[in-house]
Structure 1
Amino acid sequence: MNGADLLCETLLANGIDTCFANPGTSEMHFVAALDRQPGMRCVLGLFEGVVTGAADGYARMADKPAATLLHLGPGLANGLANLHNARRARSPMVNVVGDHATYHLQYDAPLTSDIDSLARPMSHWLGRAETAPTVGERTAQAIAAAKSGAGGISTLILHADAAWTETSAPVPAAVVPAPPAAPDPARIRKAAEALRNGRRTTILVTGRALRAPQAQMLDRIGQKTGARVLAQQANARMQRGAGRVALDRVPYVIDQALAAFADTEQLVLIGAKAPVGFFAYPGKPGPMLPKGCRVIAMADADDDLPAAIAALADATGMAPAARLARHGAPDMPEGALTPGAIAVALAHLMPENAIICDESVSSGRDFFRWTHGAAPHDFLQLTGGAIGAGIPMATGAAVACPDRKVIGLQADGSGMYTVQGLWTQARERLDVVTIIFANRLYKILHGELKNVGAAAPGENARRMLDLDDPALDWVSIANGMGVEAARADTAEAFSDLLRSAMARKGPFLIEAVV
């Protein structure tokens, strides 16, 4: 056994049996070790942003980490944007980043770089395996960090000679992660007292508070106390649809967010942060709360949120039953194809237990109000604002849940950042339907140009914000990646394509011209 074998054995001993990979020369002994492990599923991404984004989507749905395999500093750097999104989602992940043999670093070969500095901002744990006997111990430390709290990103830098050198070091015992922090009785009591004082109160939640049982308990608390329950703007995973509580999110648009909190006198935070604008805008505030609003931080993101919610319910009491969304949707759309028409069609046609992966950006802001009564589903969204997450996230979710239909809501501009993920969907025969909102421009940036008060777009600005010269042909792009695709430019044509896609298995892409 060599160091690479020891790494694989340690991963498998801790239930990490999926590796999203884009390897290079320095990682070849790890590749060979993976090849000797039939219990490990290896999934190739043609770009490192696909690798890290898929590991994020996998972790959100599997509730456990995957491994990634990245080639030296530049390979890690290519994956950093989706590691940023994964960090914001608090997704557990173990990144294995190859480095030169320890004795080769002195020569400053072309691919030598400061991997530690690249990894540190996106890693909760960072370490090096410099000798074969220490690989198991360092891997166990990385796994322990990834499984701690609500999730963490670990980056293990594996030197080539540590991977290829033989070792008799034993596989470490399986990691037993520390349980999340128990609720603080004083903080629970403070929140319960606030909820009983008669002031207008919002309970802002995220993380595991958005699973169906916890959302129901929160709704019953809200009914009992008169508080409103709201999800924060960006969340890793929400369980929603018919038979579940119809929670809304903090709006992205700053004026809408300010209006949403205008009457709030108290804010109780459960895993969430006090809402702020996504960006600074001239003449507008950064915080979304009115002056004088009292903020009560009842539970932190790393705390045991289900236990904290149960303790709050004991302290405040609950209404007899939660208010659950009824199954139903507006009439099937006709005529022009709009984002609203796409949402209504999905409300009618998505199957039960679907997984929605949303990077529709500006086109999907109104998605929730049309789909509260859709079949019950999980909703995953872009969490860190670094675009290019959608196609990889759907890919990873489909690997984690092969028996569930995955539906990607994808803006056309951001889709081009990690379009290679379509190839992985075809290679792995994943059951993913990708809906491209083809407005042929960076629509969100047109809006932001106006919101920051910069100017109306002239010729140079339009050339930086529009995608129509030439127009992207998503049907051809998908076909070239091995994914069957079709185009729709009316509501009726889109509904027909969606109905067909829901009835079949395997990857399919719909270019929705909106």
Structure 2
Amino acid sequence: MNGAESLVRTLTAQGVDTCFANPGTSEMHFLKALDNPRMRSVLCLFEGVCTGAADGYYRMTDAPASTLLHLGPGLANGLANIHNAKRASSGMINVVGEHSSSHLKHDAPLTSDIEGLARPLSHWVRRVESSRAVAWDVAMAVGKANEYPGRIATLVLPGDTSWQDGGEYVAPPRVRAEVKQPDAARVESIAKVLHSGEPTLLVLAGRATRGRALELAGKLKAATGCRLATQFFCARSERGAGRVALERIPYAVDAALDYLKAFKHIVTVETTEPIAFFSYPDKPSLLKAPCTLVHPLAEIGEDGTAALDMLVQALGATSTQAVLQPRSNMAPPSGGLTPASIAQALAAALPEHCILVDESLTTGRETMSITAGAAPHDCINNMGGSIGYGTPVATGAALACPDRRVFCMVGDGSAMYTIQSLWTQARENLNITTIIFANNSYAILKAEYANMGAGAPSGRALSMIDIDRPRIDWLSMAKSMGVPAVAVDTAQAFYKTMTDSVREPGPRLIEVRL
């Protein structure tokens, strides 16, 4: 058994059964080894799609996938979505091909410092030294990726370690990581805060925005009157009718300051205190009021569910019934396309247990409030802010949950970063409805231009954030990649097209012409 075969055998034995791949010459033996019935290999036409899809896969499964990237430039192409995955605490195993050890001294054109590229955005980096070490190195990488709440592991695989004989295969044991438990004294202190009756906001993140953790938070709200919120962006939250409702801290600094000033205490669960996404002239970076106290219940990397359970018990609220979000039964909208009518159409059209991936920026700002009472669904946001995450993450989420429809909302400027995702969606026949909000502009930058105190863009500045010369033909773009597409320009048509897209399997694209 050669090193590449040992690598794939170890991945599958350790529970990693999906590889998002963009291979090159140095990875041909790895590619051959992927011809394994226990491994699903998914071809992506750009490395940023590979890494973004691995992120989406983890967010829906809490289990890491592998990527296959070609040398340093291939890794570099994938780094933006590795950044987003790291910020979302998504586990991922990046296998990066490298020249054979004997070839490196010749400084061939594709030679680069792969470890140097990987380290800033990886929690663990290792170069395989021999074919006999492959299995053990892979086991370490999987163990690292599985650490709570999810870690980025990057394994550099020289070509000769792939093709050389690895000897008799010995399966490494699984590396099991302990989940760090919250501090009991900290829990007791926060219980006293909630007993005080002073205005308190619990800010939930990580895995605390779904499942049992969300139910426990609902008990705390019912028992003490505290309020529950997330940061503006959330890795994955369970929302909609029948679930505990979470407020959303506003994105805009002034709105966030106004929202947070009402609270004497902020309790954080798997997150930090609220901060501004950017720094602006004459505006603060920390968004809480000066007199507000911040209490970490569970730090990032600690078990937020366990912390909330301990807090519920400390408050004697185990039998308290959480108040759940009622169904809104939103009627389909009529008239023109506005952020409000778009959100209303979504609220009426979303099927039960769908997945909503949001990279809509300006157009989707009203989505969260209006869809709060929609059918139960999961929502995924961009935690790292690097553009081009939406369509790859939707691809990975659909592969992870083939029985659920995925809706991906993305602005036209953002979509152009990783539009190659459509090709993979068609090739794999994934149940994804991609919604392109086509305003022919980087509209978010027009707002930020004003927020930075630069006034209104005009002339050369405006031309750098408009993308209407030439206009992108989204219908032709989708058709060229095998995805049926339609354009809409009214709220009624948008609602109907969304509901129609659910009835047939496979991908669809809707261009929303604004």
TM-score, normalised on structure 1? 0.98
**CA contact 1:9–1:171 (8 Å) conserved in 2:** no
User: 1:453, 1:86 → 2: CA distance?
Assistant: 32
The residue type paired with residue 194 of structure 1 is V
**Counterpart amino acid of residue 292 in structure 2:** C
- Is 1:395 the counterpart of 2:395? The answer is yes
Q: Counterpart of 1:480 in structure 2: which amino acid? A: S
Quote the residue 1:493 is aligned against. 493
Is the 2:140–2:175 Cα contact (8 Å) retained in structure 1? no
After alignment, is 287-296 or 64-73 more displaced?
Answer: 287-296
Once residues 496 and 94 of structure 1 are traced to their aligned partners in structure 2, the CA distance between those partners, rounded to angstroms, is: 40
Amino acid at match of 1:165: Q
CA contact (8 A) 1:350 1:502 kept: no
Separation in structure 2 between the aligned mates of residue 329 and residue 488 of structure 1, nearest angstrom: 23
The within-5 A match list for 1:473-484 is: 473-484=473-484
Secondary structure of 2:486's aligned partner: strand
Any conservation in 1 of the 2:221–2:322 contact (CA below 8 Å)? no
Q: How many angstroms does 1:331 deviate by?
A: 2.8
Is 1:119 matched up with 2:149?
no
- Aligned equivalents of 1:456 and 1:359: distance in 2? 24
Equivalent residue, structure 2, for 1:186 = 185
Corresponding residue number in structure 1 for 2:414: 414
Per-residue CA deviations over 1:367-390 (Å, capped at 9, x if unaligned) read 111111111111111110001000
Give the letter for the 1:143 counterpart.
V
**2:377 maps to 1:346:** no
1:206-251 CA-to-partner distances (Å, cap 9, x unmatched) read: 0111114322221221232221111122221101111001212211
Give, in whole Å, the separation in 2 of the partners of 1:321 and 1:71. 52
State the alpha-carbon separation in 1 of the partners of residues 284 and 357 from structure 2: 31
Distance 1:249 1:159 in 2: 46
The 3-state SS of whatever aligns with 2:437 is: strand
Report Cα offsets for 1:388-408 as digits up to 9, x if no partner.
000000000000011111110
CA distances 1:459-487 after superposition (whole Å, capped 9, x unpaired): 11111111111111111111111100000
What residue is the counterpart of 2:84 in the other structure?
85
Structure 1 residues 174 and 351, CA gap change in structure 2 (3 angstroms):
farther
Distance of aligned partners of 1:402 and 1:171 in 2 relative to their CA distance in 1, 3 Å threshold: farther
Report what 1:237 is aligned to.
236
Cα distance in 2 between the residues matched to 1:437 and 1:174:
48
Q: How does 1:114-263 map to 2 (within 5 A)?
A: 114-263=113-262
Instruction: Give the stretch that moved more between structures: 483-492 or 226-235.
Output: 226-235
Give the letter for the 1:42 counterpart. S
The aligned amino acid for 1:23 is P
Measured in 1, the distance between the counterparts of 2:5 and 2:211 equals 40
Between 329-338 and 285-294, the greater mean CA deviation after superposition: 329-338
- Hey, what does 2:330 align to over in structure 1? 330
Name the structure 2 match of 1:34. 34
Any gaps of 5 or more consecutive residues in structure 2? none
Following TM superposition, by how much is the alpha carbon of 1:62 offset from its aligned partner in structure 2, in angstroms? 1.5
C-alpha separation between the residues in 2 aligned to 1:164 and 1:358? Answer: 42
Q: Counterpart amino acid of 2:426?
A: A
Identify which range, 12-21 or 174-183, moves more after superposition.
174-183
Contact 2:405 2:432 in 1 (8 A): yes
Shift of 1:172: 3.1
- Which range moved further: 232-241 or 407-416? 232-241
Is the CA contact (8 Å cut-off) linking 1:216 and 1:245 kept in structure 2? yes
Amino acid at match of 1:29: H
For residues 179 and 232 of structure 1, what CA distance do their matches in structure 2 show?
A: 27
CA distance, structure 1, for counterparts of residue 442 and residue 97 of structure 2:
36
Residues 330, 374 of structure 2: 8 Å contact kept: no
Q: What residue in structure 2 maps to residue 363 of structure 1?
A: 363
Structure 1 counterpart of 2:378: 378
Does structure 1 retain, via aligned residues, the 8 Å contact 2:339–2:365? no
Q: Which runs of 4+ in 1 moved over 6 A?
A: none
User: Which stretch of structure 1 is more off in the superposition, 329-338 or 487-496?
Assistant: 329-338
Task: Give the CA deviation at 1:412.
Answer: 0.8
Residue 57 of structure 2 corresponds to 58
Give the conservation status (yes or no) of the 8 Å contact 1:248–1:368. Answer: no
Shift of 1:355: 0.6
Aligned-partner SS, 1:362: coil
Moved more, 160-169 or 411-420: 160-169
Deviation string for 1:167-205 (max 9, x for gaps)?
A: 115343341422311221111111111212232111111
Shift of 1:295: 1.1
| 1:425 to partner: Cα distance | 0.2
- Please give the secondary structure, in 2, of the residue aligned with 1:243: coil
Q: Distance in 2 between matches of 1:241 and 1:350?
A: 10
Q: Is the 8 A contact 1:140 1:172 kept in 2?
A: no
Query: Comparing 178-187 with 414-423, which one deviates more in the overlay?
Result: 178-187
* Cα-to-partner distance string for 1:422-456 (whole Å, 9 max, x where unaligned): 00000100010011111110010000000000232
The 5-angstrom pairing of residues 432-451 of structure 1 reads 432-451=432-451
Q: Secondary structure at the match of 1:43?
A: strand
> Does the residue aligned with 1:170 lie in a helix, a strand or coil?
coil
Amino acid in the other structure paired with 1:494:
F
- What's 1:72 paired with? 71
Secondary structure of 1:363's aligned partner? coil
Which AA in structure 2 matches 1:119? A
Q: Deviations over 1:285-333 (max 9, x none)?
A: 1100111211111111211211111000001133731111111243321
Is the 1:55–1:66 Cα contact (8 Å) retained in structure 2? Answer: yes
Q: 1:470, 1:504 → 2: CA distance?
A: 33
Give distance in 2, aligned partners of 1:179 and 1:42: 30
1:23 alignment partner in structure 2: 23
| Contact in 1 for aligned 2:132/2:167 (Cα 8 Å) | yes
| Contact 2:136-2:172 at 8 Å conserved across structures | no
